[in-house]
Amino acid sequence: MKKIFNLSALILMLSLAACAPSEVDDIFDDSPAVRLDNAIKNYTELLKSDGGRWLMEYFANSGEEGYNFVMTFHNDGSVDISTQNAYVNGGAFFTDRSLWEVVSDYGPVLSFNTYNKAFHVFSSPQSDGSGHEGDYEFMILNADNDKIVMRGKKSREKGVVIDVLLTRLSSTEYPTDEDYFTSLTAVRKAAFSDRINNYVLTTGSGKRYICNDVTTMLWSFYPEDGTLLDNGEYMNAIITTKGIRFMLPLDFLPEYDANDVAAQNFEFQEDGSLLCTEDGVTKITGPGLADLFHQPQMGWTFSTKDGEMGGDFLTIYNQIVTEAKTKYKTTFNWLQLGYDNAKAKYRLYFKNGKYYGSIYIKHEMVDANTIKFSFDPDAEGAFDNNGQNHYNNLESMRAMVALICNGEYTLTAEHAMVANPMTMTSKSNPANFVVIGF
């Protein structure tokens, strides 16, 4: 209905323009050409104002991640463009200077009209004949003092909507361009892990989607009760130091409404999760801790730092170190819980001097954040050779297995996206805990 109304309104305005030009002139004091000329001047001044430093969130196409550029627009018509991505300078930080201008074409258009080595690689043809097929000229849609929304001119001509954002970049927070990209690298490393599968997007109505391939910013989605093959959706994204933005709204979400809520922008929260800025409800977090603990690519090593092991865990671990020194003349290195992928079995894995050993225990997820273990020393394949030798010869190793298999353990973590480390705490005796990490 909104689209029909807007079309009717447009027809009415055109009719008024034909019948009563003097009245229309009263509404618009200046001619279209004058208004366009004023807009070009205003946008030019806006870009140069307050130091002229902006962050550009740029998408070349729908098949690759978005890229960050720091741009400083100068009064002499030059612009410094900095970036750090895989396609420029071998992935190292790089800056180049070129020319820019706001011109008249489809209305006000920001044009980077001389070649910039940091930027034009995405819009110039490459050896494959097409390259990234990105834009170097952008129609300015709207702006305020701190944000400019633009749309790629060449993309628009092909019928593709690729919006590009410019936002003010603080010189206090990031004194140099390289400071921004150093910070971005740290944020990206902390925000996600390529070792973790099954991130979770939860909508306002409680609908849950499994998200993968997130470190590449080429996200895949499928309903928790579906499969990627049958129900998969894909969307590319860009990460900044503040959060992530998908190139297009997530229109497959049940709450999606093009005229109202269109989840697209997400900001990092204090716990590391991502909250949708459009509806304030849709959220992206890591998998449940028990699911993460269970994932076969993970190996969770016991921390021996002060304060990160307590109660019987600390007592028994120290006894293992002492017994190993006495009976094997070795220094006990570490203890770990995780999968033996070759045997597809869960295990307590250890290294003692030059010896590696496995004790195969069973593992069960009780709920999203609770696990428990069990062990039968008489079961077939309960040990490898070193595992059995150490289990038989070290009373403390037997005590550690008994402790691990004694009841349920609650998993907790401070970071909602990358739960590394997490803490495993006995439900029956909270004094028994150990911090574990991958």
Which DSSP string do the residues of 85-142 spell out, in sequence order? STTSGGGS-EEEEEE-EEEESSSEEEE--S--TTTGGGTS--TTSSTT---SEEEEEE
pLDDT at 29: 67
Q: Which of 27-36, 125-134, 264-273 has the highest mean pLDDT?
A: 264-273
Are 321 and 426 within one domain?
Answer: yes
Q: Give pLDDT tens digits for 328-348.
A: 999 999 999 999 999 999 999
Could you tell me if 111 and 193 are in contact, meaning their C-beta atoms sit under 8 angstroms apart?
A: no
Mean pLDDT over 122-145 rounds to 86
| CA–CA gap between residue 249 and residue 327 (Å, rounded) | 63
Q: Give pLDDT tens digits for 406-432.
A: 999 999 999 999 999 999 999 999 999
Are 173 and 205 within one domain?
Answer: no
Q: Give pLDDT tens digits for 18-39.
A: 433 433 344 456 788 899 999 9
Residue 14, domain member (yes or no): no
Are 236 and 104 within one domain?
Answer: no
pLDDT at 31: 85
Are 53 and 150 within one domain?
Answer: yes
Are 177 and 33 within one domain?
Answer: yes
Domain of 390, in residue numbers: 291-437
Mean pLDDT over 145-166 rounds to 90
Picking from 186, 213, 235, the residue at the C-terminal end of a domain is 186
| CA–CA gap between residue 92 and residue 83 (Å, rounded) | 8
pLDDT at 261: 86
pTM summary value: 0.86
Instruction: Find the range with the poorest average confidence among 5-9, 116-120, 171-175.
Output: 5-9
Are 325 and 271 within one domain?
Answer: no
Q: How far is CA 136 from CA 47, 53, 183, 301, 422, in A?
A: 16, 18, 26, 49, 45
β-pair partners for 79: 73, 98
Instruction: Find the range with the poorest average confidence among 45-49, 150-154, 208-212, 298-302.
Output: 150-154
Number of domains making up the chain: 3
Report residue 284 as tokens: 């992206």
Report residue 265 as tokens: 């922008």
Is the pLDDT assigned to residue 296 strictly greater than 60? yes
Residue 387 backbone class (left: φ over 0; alpha: ψ -120 to 50; beta: rest): alpha
**Cis peptide bond prior to 296, omega within 30° of 0:** no
